[in-house]
Amino acid sequence: MYNIVKKTFLTPTICLMEVEDPRIASAAQPGQFLIVRARPQGERIPLTICDYNREKGTVTIVIQIIGASSRMICALEEGESFTDFVGPLGQPSDFVKEDDGQIEGRRYLFVAGGLGTAPVYPQAKYLFERGAKVDVIVGAKTADMVILEKEMSAVCDNLYICTDDGSKGTRGLVTEKIKALLAEGKKYDQAVAIGPMIMMKFTTLTLKETGIPLVVSLNTLMVDGTGMCGGCRVTVGGRNRFACVEGPEFNAYEVDFDEAMRRQTMYKPQEIEADHKCRIGRDK
């Protein structure tokens, strides 16, 4: 069970895996996430769901190699299995609760930063298949870091790519592209931003004066993924919220991004130590 049926590297450090799990595939919804464990002594890692195929009974995840645990996951090969593959967890995107008739014709703007492209994909796909008008902005440092371009193009009306160095698409930040689209007269009923916390913060500041509702995903805060550790605690609308059980998606204009960014640095020393051990072959 939890067999890896497909593995491919989208970039030298970003890996896509399609995993066999009919139960999760039958229940997964856009916006939700999983907890995976590569081996019995491995760390439990929250990963957002990139896609699911109910007929095949598979779930797709995308992992970036950052530290010891992500390196361990990406070392697994096709035919091997995860020790644990738990989900779906978290609350699905709000639009899942709406009738298809409410979605049809609605105009959405998605802003994806880096690995945030992976969780944006199932949301854009869900809405596009139900007749929504979907524009997607994807931001990356370089052309080599742009992922799922072909797949995303198939599930949106317009795909705009921004790179820091101009090696693909428009040179500059996603916020500059947002301003350019609005200046062209583009109108949106809803916006969604998923990616690095700093990108979501400045996307929020950019859209705040426009009156366009904006949702952000705080999936990068999650540690335990079940609400037990408190690592994903964040202030939203003046209240303490837990991203893993009450989110991961929240009203962007109510999120305390500065607090969230401070929380992201809490476990840096432990992460560095674990990655060092993994690299020199002690973590076996």
Task: Characterize the bridge pairing of strands 33-37 and 45-53.
Answer: antiparallel
> Residues 136, 19: one domain?
no
The answer to whether residue 29 is domain-embedded is yes
> Residues 164, 185: one domain?
yes
> Residues 54, 100: one domain?
no
Which has the minimum average pLDDT: 12-26, 149-163, 209-223? 209-223
Residue range 233-245: mean pLDDT, rounded: 88
> Residues 83, 107: one domain?
no
> Residues 81, 218: one domain?
no
The answer to whether residue 269 is domain-embedded is no
pLDDT at position 268, please? 54
Look at residues 89, 106, 125 and tell me which one is the last residue of a structural domain. Answer: 89
The answer to whether residue 18 is domain-embedded is yes
Contact (CB, 8 A) for 28 and 80:
no
Tell whether the model's pLDDT for residue 164 goes beyond 90.
Answer: yes
The answer to whether residue 284 is domain-embedded is no
- Against a cut of 0.95, is the pTM above it? no
> Residues 100, 20: one domain?
no
Query: Residue 10: phi, psi to the nearest 5?
Result: -75, -30
Q: How far apart are CA 87 and CA 18, in angstroms?
A: 15
Hey, is 30 helix, strand or coil?
Answer: coil
> Residues 140, 18: one domain?
no
Q: How far apart are CA 90 and CA 249, in angstroms?
A: 9
Look at residues 30, 62, 89 and tell me which one is the last residue of a structural domain. Answer: 89
pLDDT at position 1, please? 72
Hey, is 269 helix, strand or coil?
Answer: helix
Confidence of residue 267 (pLDDT cuts 50, 70, 90): low
State percent of the chain over pLDDT 70: 92
> What are the Cα distances from residue 72, in Å, to 39, 115, 159, 230, 275?
8, 18, 33, 25, 10
Count structural domains, the chain.
Answer: 2
pLDDT at position 284, please? 43
Tell whether the model's pLDDT for residue 160 goes beyond 80.
Answer: yes
Other beta carbons within 10 Å of 75:
13
Hey, is 81 helix, strand or coil?
Answer: strand
CATH number at residue 41: 2.40.30.10
> Residues 104, 78: one domain?
no
Look at residues 89, 119, 135 and tell me which one is the last residue of a structural domain. Answer: 89
> Residues 38, 148: one domain?
no
pLDDT at position 236, please? 92
Contact (CB, 8 A) for 13 and 65:
yes
Which has the minimum average pLDDT: 184-193, 242-251, 270-279? 270-279
Give 278 or 252, the one with higher predicted confidence.
252
pLDDT at position 29, please? 96
The answer to whether residue 276 is domain-embedded is no
The answer to whether residue 278 is domain-embedded is no
Bridge partners (DSSP) listed for residue 163: 140, 171
CATH number at residue 185: 3.40.50.80
> Residues 138, 99: one domain?
yes
Q: What are the DSSP calls for 129-156, one per residue?
A: HTT-EEEEEEEESSGGG--SHHHHHTT-
> Residues 32, 150: one domain?
no
Other beta carbons within 10 Å of 9:
11
Confidence of residue 280 (pLDDT cuts 50, 70, 90): very low
The answer to whether residue 236 is domain-embedded is yes
Cβ-based neighbours of 252, under 8 Å, separated by 6 or more: 193, 200, 203, 204, 207, 214, 215, 216
Q: How far apart are CA 19 and CA 21, in angstroms?
A: 6
Other beta carbons within 10 Å of 101:
9
The answer to whether residue 209 is domain-embedded is yes
Tell me the residue range of the domain where 115 lies: 94-264
Which has the minimum average pLDDT: 4-13, 101-110, 275-284? 275-284
> Residues 151, 79: one domain?
no
